[in-house]
Chain A
């Protein structure tokens, strides 16, 4: 029989970053959304409210607050769904206890935080990048986490798909950090045909229920996951648990459980950390940026090159685990690293840690709800 070549069904959209996130989620197989509205993330929720009831088993529910949204999202994930919620700073703060819970029970899910100015209710409609360290360290307890970002609308779609894939592959919550500029910029994007995109799903057990160890260590460090109701009756708890999922305080079991949580992320560091290089081959000054600031930086680097300065740009797409090798490389080749960001230095802190005094680290910080312009970055490069 001749192979039927299927016509690719790509769609072009003129979409907001937030709308692209929703498109990406649906593409990745997200069938559950629970949320609570907050600027500047609300459009994600609104698109999901419109789309999910129209797809088979798609569930949308508006909860009473962000704590509830996160609880419901975890519940759905445990019941086998690809689940997502989206919020902004104040809501993200409320979600923290449950993000920790999701890490502990290894529930795959995606949390989008479209950052706004803070602290507190701060600047609801102004851009900021002030939740970088909260995304990494906001929960109580020690655990690794995956934090991604995007700097344009197409990337919003792509990184949302990646976020779901990482969540499923590593059985962990994944946080997608966006800033208001990216979320509210409207650009032409291409939504790929589902067949063109690699979509990963969690590994389910194949052993009979009596043999199943829900938190068993494996070579990958990621245990198989049985959806609630599939015949594998297991215990899920936020308490530190043994391989069977039952609470334990035995130091050896506690240590094994904790170290596995770290190892399953650490050993796939190379897979997880993503960044884009632009004109870095011969660069003497490197800009390290993420989110919408990376776009200003891109223009600044072009302008610097026009003026004969050897400048380059490293755009971080993975914020945590921090892409150390990519940054470390710069600190061996350049005399200066410039870190522009819309906060008082939450990412330059990481760069300085890796830099180890090898180069100058020049920071550009804005906390006035304004974007960082190319000319500000250009000035720091020259």
Chain B
């Protein structure tokens, strides 16, 4: 425990912007911890890491951590990240977004970042709700669930982020949960070191806005649910088939080595400039 505290002190802007905004029981803090452990374990210099965040509770993560941090606009974090990565491909660019951020307002940018296979890591903190604005439904709210804007139950299907990102061309696609913190460290580390576009979706409980309105009595209930309602994708006979018992597969859904857009672009540029000499 002492080690963890030490690590946190090395990476957080602890003297600046605390207390933080996250509610007790919120999964977002666990993801932040995992991100810090991953960067630390990989031995990346803080100066080389850029954390680009959208707007939402998840977006607030950027202010706390001592990397280069950019808190952007709602839904557009990936567009800023694309500019930063193309401007300086040496940087490790990590984008943190909520489900509203990444899928609703920013859905178009997500599929295009995947299509380009830009060398950016997208962390999608899926709490199935708009946390910061007070619990309205997002495009990841499960059908039938209650939110401030779906008081009679949501009629719309939610996106499956894994399917969508695979289909759009992301070369690393994985899902974890805030309950499975050790697995999450692995997923995030691999994603950061992955050359092309990498997506890690994390089920991150929002007890305040989502849990309360749906079947959960408290935060502990939500974590217990994550434990018993998920299944490691490796253990499935057919990873492309959704388990019949309704459990949600977690783990790595795709991992193919493909150069990122920036690699391909600068390769082309070297060729063109060679010819021009």
Interface residues of A (CB under 8 A from B): 32, 34, 53-54, 56, 58-59, 61, 63-65, 67-81, 83, 97-98, 101, 227-231, 233-239, 244, 246-247
Let me know if B47 and A64 touch, CB within 8 A: no
Bound Cα distance from A235 to B59, whole angstroms: 12
Residues facing A in B88-124 (CB within 8 A) are 88, 90-91, 108-109, 112
Interchain residue pairs A-B with the least CB separation, the first 10: A75-B83, A71-B79, A72-B83, A79-B87, A237-B71, A75-B80, A76-B87, A68-B79, A75-B84, A76-B83
Contacts of B108 in A (CB 8 A): 64-65, 68
| B86, B90, B91: the one within 8 Å of A59 (CB) | B86
Min CB–CB distance A233 → chain B (angstroms): 5
Give B48's nearest chain A residue, CB to CB. Answer: A229
B76: CB under 8 A from chain A?
A: yes
- The answer to whether B83 and A73 touch across the interface, beta carbons within 8 angstroms, is yes
Q: Are B68 and A67 in contact (CB under 8 A)?
A: no
**Shortest Cβ distance from B261 into A: residue:** A61
- In the complex, the answer to whether B80 meets A72 with C-beta atoms within 8 Å is yes
7 contacts between A and B (CB under 8 A): A32-B86, A58-B269, A75-B52, A75-B79, A229-B88, A233-B66, A234-B69
A58–B265 Cα gap in the complex (Å)? 10
| Alpha-carbon separation in the docked complex, A68 to B108 (Å) | 9
Interface contact A64-B109, CB-CB below 8 Å? yes
The minimal Cβ–Cβ distance linking B55 to chain A, given in whole angstroms, is 8
Within the assembled complex, what's the spacing in Å between the Cα atoms of A83 and B67? 23
The answer to whether B76 touches A67, judged by C-beta atoms less than 8 angstroms apart, is yes
Contact B69 A235, beta carbon cutoff 8 Å: yes
Give chain B's interface secondary structure class.
helix
List B49-67 residues whose CB lies under 8 Å from chain A.
50, 52, 62-63, 66-67
Residues of B within 8 A of A69 (CB): 79
CB distance from B113 to the nearest CB of A (A): 9
**In whole angstroms, what is the CA distance A83 to B62 when docked?**
24
Q: In the bound complex, what is the Cα–Cα distance between A76 and B79 (angstroms)?
A: 10
Name the A residues within 8 Å of B47 (CB-CB).
229-231, 233
Give Cα A229–Cα B45 distance, bound, in whole angstroms.
10
Residues on B with C-beta less than 8 A from A83 are 83, 87
Q: Which residues of B contact A54 (CB under 8 A)?
A: 269, 272-273, 276
Residues of B contacting A227 with CB < 8 Å? 88
Q: Which listed residue (A67, A77, A97, A233) contacts B46, Cβ 8 A? A: A233
- Cross-interface CB contact of B87 among A32, A230, A231, A246, cutoff 8 Å: A32
Contact status B72-A72, CB under 8 Å? no
**Are B83 and A235 in contact (CB-based, < 8 A)?**
no
Q: Which residue in chain A gives the minimum CB-CB distance to B271?
A: A53
Of chain B, the residue at the smallest CB distance from A68 is B79
Q: Is B12 an interface residue (CB 8 A)?
A: no
A54 to B274, CA, bound (A): 9
Known: A233-B47, A239-B71. A246 touches B83 (CB 8 A): no
* Chain A residues near B82 (CB-CB < 8 A): 34, 61, 63, 68, 71-72, 75
- Nearest-neighbour CB distance to chain B for A6, whole angstroms, equals 22
Name A244's closest neighbour in chain B (CB-CB): B16
Give CA–CA (A56, B194) in the complex, Å.
26
Q: How far does the Cβ of B24 sit from chain A's closest Cβ, in whole Å?
A: 22
Complex Cα distance, B68 from A80, in Å, reads 13
Once A54-B273, A238-B73 are accepted as A-B contacts, the answer to whether A81 and B87 lie under 8 Å apart by CB is yes
Known: A78-B70, A228-B68, A244-B16. A67 touches B79 (CB 8 A): yes
Residues of chain A contacted by B69 (CB below 8 angstroms): 233-236
Is B268 in contact with chain A by the CB < 8 A criterion? yes
Chain A residue at minimal CB-CB distance from B16: A246
Q: Chain B residues with Cβ under 8 A from A97's Cβ?
A: 73
Residue in A53, A74, A235 whose CB lies within 8 Å of B268: A53
By beta carbon, the residue of chain B nearest A73 is: B83
Q: From B48, B76, B265, B268, give the contact of A71 (CB < 8 A).
A: B76
| Chain A residue at minimal CB-CB distance from B52 | A75
| CA–CA, A228 and B265, complex, Å | 21
- Contact of A61 with B86 in the complex, beta carbons under 8 Å: yes
B81 within 8 A of A: yes
